[in-house]
Amino acid sequence: MRSALVVVVTIVLVVLGMGAAPAATSAAKPGLTLRVAVSSAVPHRVLVTGRAPGRERVVTIQRHVHGQWVRERTVLVGKRHRFSTLLVARTGVHRYRAVTRHDRSAARAVRVTATPTSAPASSPSDACGSRPTKPDGSLWSCTFADDFNGSALDRNRWTVATNYATGDANGIYACAADDPSLVSVEGGHLDLSLRRLDEAVPCGAVAVGGLTQYLAGTVSTVNHFSQKYGRFEARIRAAASTAPGLTEAFWMWPVDDEGTAWPASGEIDIAETFSVYPHSYFPRLHSAVDADAPQEGVNTASNCLAERGVWNTYTLEWSPTRMDFFVNGKPCLRTWPLDPVFQKAYVPILTQGIGASWNPYDGRAPMPATMNVDYMRVWQ
C-alpha cells in the first residue's frame, strides 16, 4: 500500500451477569437476550435477540472491548418490536448490549467454548482449517497460518516494520515503529494501532525523515515467508470511524523489485479501507500499465462493500492468468490477463496507517485507532 478442518462446534452459553446502565430518556430498555447457535464449522456464532421499546426502528449491538463499547452490528427492528442477529464470536467471554437513539439495555455476558470432534472424512483439513476448494475442484493446501492465539507476536513468522511511513510526506504522516502500543497480540487477534504523541520524534522511514507526532503499526512476513500464486486471506476489523484520516491495508510487496521503481515493480492491494468511505473497501493492482491511475474493473473496483467496525474477510485467489478478489465470500473483482510483474513471489503485509490526499487526517478521527486481525492464512 502506498499513500473448518470442519468440526462440530458446540458453543456453551454461560450467563455471567449484567451491569445495568441508566436509561438516557426513559425507563424502558431494549431487551437484550443472548443465545447460542450450534455451528458445524468455525467461526463460532452468538445469536443476539431482543425487543426495542416504542417506535425505535434501529438497534445497535455493541461489544465491550478493551474497556470501551464498540459497535458490532446495526440491526433493524421487526414486527412486535423484536430484533435478531447472528454474531461471530471467538472462544472466550464476551459482553454485549443494545443501544437505540434514546436508551440502552443492560449488558449481558456469555462464555463461548468449543469442543471439536473428529472431522468428517469428506471434509479434509490442515493447519489452516477446512481446506477450501479451487475453481478446478481440487483442494487448496495450507502454506501459512496464524490465528494470533498467543500473548505476543510470533517473531519467527512476522517482522515489524520500522522503515515505512503512511500519509503525506509534506504534511501529516505516520511512521512505522516497533512498540507494544502499536503492535500487540491479545484476545485472539493482532492489534495494529495508530497513535498521536505529545511530542514529535524522529521518523525511521528513510524516504521521509524528519520528525512526526504520529506512529503506527505494520507487520509483514518478509524474511520469513513469501509465495507466488495461491489463496491469501485475512479477517480484519477496522476502527469504527467515519471521520477522514484512517487507512488500513492487507497487501503484498514483491520479494524482488528487480531494481525497478514503483509502480512498475508491482504491488497487490488485496484490501484497502479508508474511513472517509466507511461502507467500502478497495482492491488494487499497481504495475507499469496502470501508471498509478485506477481503472475500474481492470486494476480496481469501487463497488465492494465492507462496513467499518465489524469483521470482514478479504480473500485473493491468484493464478498465473488471473486474480479474483472476494469479501466475506462474495466476488468483488476479477482481473486478467496479468501483467508480467505479477509472475513472481510476494510478501503479505498488514498495515494500520494514516490517510493522505482525499482521505486526510483532520483531527476528528479518534486516536488511538486500531485495526484488529483475527487471522491470516495462505494456501497453494
247-287 confidence digits (pLDDT tens)? 999 999 999 988 899 999 999 999 999 999 999 999 999 99
- Is the pLDDT score of 93 beyond 70? yes
Grouping H, G, I as helix, E, B as strand and the rest as coil, residue 84 is strand
Residue 27 has pLDDT above 50, yes or no: no
234: its cell numbers: 485475512
Q: What are phi and psi of 342, to 5 degrees?
A: -100, 25
| Stretch among 68-82, 105-119, 331-345 having the lowest mean pLDDT | 105-119
120 pLDDT higher than 70:
no
Report phi then psi at 289, rounded to 5: -65, -40
What residues does each domain of the chain span?
A: 4-121, 125-379
Look at residue 4 and tell me whether its pLDDT is greater than 50. Answer: no
For residues 242 and 245, give the distance between their C-alpha atoms in angstroms, rounded to a whole number.
Answer: 9
Confidence band of 1 (pLDDT split at 50, 70, 90): low
Q: State residue 293's pLDDT score.
A: 80
Q: pLDDT at residue 343 above 60?
A: yes
Give the pLDDT mean for 321-332: 95
If you average pLDDT over every residue of the chain, what do you get? 85
d(CA 235, CA 352): 14
**Residue 361 CB neighbour total at 10 angstroms:** 27
Tell me which of 51-55, 97-101, 146-150, 363-367 is least confident.
51-55
Model pLDDT, residue 78 = 80
Q: How far is C-alpha 336 from the chain's CA centre?
A: 26
Does residue 316 register a pLDDT over 80? yes
- How far, in Å, CA of 246 to CA of 309, rounded? 12
Tell me 108's DSSP state.
E
How confident is residue 44, by pLDDT bands cut at 50, 70 and 90? low
pLDDT for position 47: 80
Q: Per-residue pLDDT averaged across 126-140, rounded?
A: 93
Quote the percentage of the chain above a pLDDT of 70. Answer: 85
Residue 17: predicted pLDDT: 36
**Rounded CA gap, 129 and 82, in Å?**
36
Q: Give, in degrees to the nearest 5, the angle at Cα 321 between 318 and 324.
A: 40
Going by pLDDT thresholds of 50, 70 and 90, the confidence category of residue 118 is very low
Strands 211-216 and 189-202: antiparallel
What pLDDT shows up at residue 277?
A: 96
Q: What is the pLDDT of residues 183-221, one digit of tens each?
A: 999 999 999 999 999 999 999 887 777 899 999 999 999
Q: Is the pLDDT assigned to residue 333 strictly greater than 80?
A: yes
Please determine, for residue 117, whether its predicted confidence score (pLDDT) is greater than 70.
no
Architecture (CATH level 2) of domain 125-379:
Sandwich (2.60)
The three state secondary structure string of 165-207 is EEECCCCCEEEECCCCCCEEEECCEEEEEEEEEEEEEECCCCC
Q: Which of 279, 267, 346 minimizes the C-alpha distance to 312?
A: 279
pLDDT of residue 350: 98
CA 176, CA 270: separation in Å to the nearest integer? 20
3-state secondary structure of 79: helix
Query: What percentage of the chain reaches a pLDDT higher than 90?
Result: 58
C-alpha to C-alpha distance for 159 and 227, rounded to whole angstroms: 16
Which overall architecture, per CATH, does domain 4-121 show? Answer: Sandwich (2.60)
Task: Provide mean pLDDT across the span 28-46.
Answer: 52
State residue 89's pLDDT score.
77
Provide Rg for the chain, Cα atoms: 22
pLDDT for residue 43: 52
Three-state SS at 157: coil
- Which of 4-18, 139-153, 354-368 is least confident? 4-18
Q: Is the pLDDT of residue 136 over 70?
A: yes
Rounded average pLDDT over 157-162: 97
